[in-house]
Chain A
Amino acid sequence: MRLFLSGVRTQFWLIRRQPDELLTLCTIPFTVVMMLSIVMHAARPDLVANAFLAPTLIGLWGFATGLATTVLVGDRWIDALPLGMAAPGSLHPVYLGRISAVMVLGVVPLGETWLLGKLLFGVTPAVHHPWVFWAAMAASVFAMIGTSLLLAASMLLSKNSNNYLNFLSFPIYVLSGVMVPVQYLPEFLRPLSDVIFLSWSADLMRDAMAAAPVTAVGWRLLAIVGLGVAALVAGRVLLALTLRRARELGVVTYA
């Protein structure tokens, strides 16, 4: 736990000095404008909730891929990884702490989106089930932390993993239904959506904003958290394997 907290603290120190890393926040207005102008001009008030959710969740994912998942490759880049391996403390709680610190900031896009909607378009969506909404957001942040650890560990495997990650983002936006609800997607893509926690998040949050009662809240939250735990465990195992292999081979990448 101490190592985790030290990771959190260190990442806050790093971010404070690196405001350019918060560039993700600057891309959000564009998504907000795009989504809301489409919805407003099409006169589809039923889709307003969707237009608010997209920038929020894309912002969360953006923080994860832009900042959280690069903590390990970043340390490899500056040659801090072998120094960490030589230290008595284990590395995964430290990196998990650093990732968590970033993802706590992942809530900021939510506020930013609401604010921009009000300022630019004069709309704020109704949230009919605020508790469900916030529970879904919290579960999503947790799942994003787990997923980021997995992505961060995977990124060690390649030398130019940033390219893969950028490539990954758009399919994730589509499959997770943050842009367009999953039920509008071609049938064969749905199973893929089911294993992406963001699709559960988007669905549940959309329902939480609608007036109709939300069904199966517990199960759906569990799905988000469960997928997050799975990613967390997988990330931890992959990191351990990668570090063990580095100790055997003397190299961290494999491609």
Chain B
Amino acid sequence: MSVRVRDLTRTYRKGKGWRPKGEEVTALAGLTLDVPANEVHGLLGPNGAGKTTLCKILSTVLLPTSGTAEVLGHDVVTGAAEIRPRIGIVFGGERGLYGKLTARQTLRYWASLYKIPDAVAKVRTGELLARLGLADKADDLVETFSRGMKQRVHLARGLVGDPELVLFDEPTTGMDPVAARDFRELIGELRDEGRTILITTHDMDEAEAVCDRVTLIDRGRVLATESPRGLAAMSGPHRWVEAETSLDVTGIPGVVDTETRNGVLRVKTTDDRAARAVLDFLLDRGVRSVHAVPPRLEDVYLDLIGRRGMEV
């Protein structure tokens, strides 16, 4: 087991001073989670669910309030020194980089903090830069990089210690679609190399595309851990219909929700019969390309959590 978390809680205290005494905020409320070795595991949940808190605890920069968390067989409190060299962290966005260092210097700096001998660091830095498509920009200052390139520097930085477990906290926030696709490929490669990956995200499509299993968390608790497909099956009897149309179907009995994206109408219905009725209604009016479709992870997510906290 790469990650083993039992009844983990974490609270923060508001207020100032060396020991703040203010109001208590619960970020994790008894979370239990197992991530076997070599799995790509997604953590899905709205803003404030506790995803970042969990990542920080697993990366040993934050202590749990109660419960236990083990990473690669070591406790995050007592075994932090054993864990640190073996994990990599990539926290989303562009922050955390020195604008006045080049990409190569950035990696050399972090390689030294991961105690990698200079000769090895030199080679590995070159390999990582090439792998992330930064080879021809290796000696440019990071501050001249686009957002996507900075994110790639972050990815390279997270891999510089050749980690067995990589923690990604919202790695694709603000990535353009091409970069996001490259990122998915990278995740696949990292898994093929035998690494374990824990990835938090808002993006259901991404989770569905890259994760072996996902855990849905809300208010610091696990709602479900499943394969994306298995999770999708949890949305009960609901059925979905998609069609290229602008017709209004909200009057049909059994229609729960409708949504139009890129000209495609997506209708959520209570059950098989209601879905049938919507299909018939649309076909009768000459609408082509009408399909009954399986639920997406997003549908399940919305069923279980609602629309709260979806904004990035």
Contacts and interface: CB of A to CB of B under 8 A. Distances in A.
Contacts of A13: 100-102, 105
A3 B111 CA distance: 10
Interface in A237-255: 245-250, 254-255
A18 interface: yes
Contacts of A85: 60-61
A218 interface: no
Contact of A250 (B12, B16, B96): B12
B13 interface: yes
B100 A80 contact: no
Nearest to B89: A86
B198 to A, nearest CB: 14
Contacts of B81: 88
Nearest to A94: B113
Q: Interface residue tally of chain B, by bracket?
A: 35 or more
Contacts of A10: 101, 105, 109
B113 A78 contact: no
Interface in A60-92: 78-80, 82-89
B100 A89 contact: no
A82 B100 contact: no
B84 interface: yes
Contacts of B100: 13-14, 17-18
A6 interface: yes
Contact of B112 (A3, A246, A255): A3
Contacts of A94: 112-113
Interface string A1-38: 01100100010011001100000000000000000000
Contact of A86 (B20, B84, B105): B84
B61 A86 contact: yes
Contacts of B62: 247, 250
A158 B276 CA distance: 64
A86 B167 CA distance: 11
A220 B121 CA distance: 44
A116 B102 CA distance: 36
B141 interface: yes
B96 A78 contact: yes
Given A78-B96, A78-B98, A88-B113, A83 B16 contact: no
A255 B20 CA distance: 10
Interface in B44-94: 53, 56, 59-63, 81, 84-85, 87, 89, 91
Contacts of B91: 79, 82-83
A160 to B, nearest CB: 13
A14 B97 CA distance: 12
Nearest to B112: A6
B114 A87 contact: yes
A249 B12 contact: yes
A17 B63 CA distance: 37
B115 interface: yes
Given A87-B84, A88-B114, A255 B16 contact: yes
B97 A78 contact: yes
B17 interface: yes
Given A86-B84, A87-B114, A249 B95 contact: no
Nearest to A89: B113
Given A88-B115, A249-B20, 18 more contacts: A3-B113, A6-B113, A13-B100, A13-B101, A14-B98, A14-B100, A17-B100, A17-B101, A18-B100, A80-B97, A82-B61, A83-B157, A86-B59, A86-B60, A87-B84, A88-B161, A89-B115, A245-B18
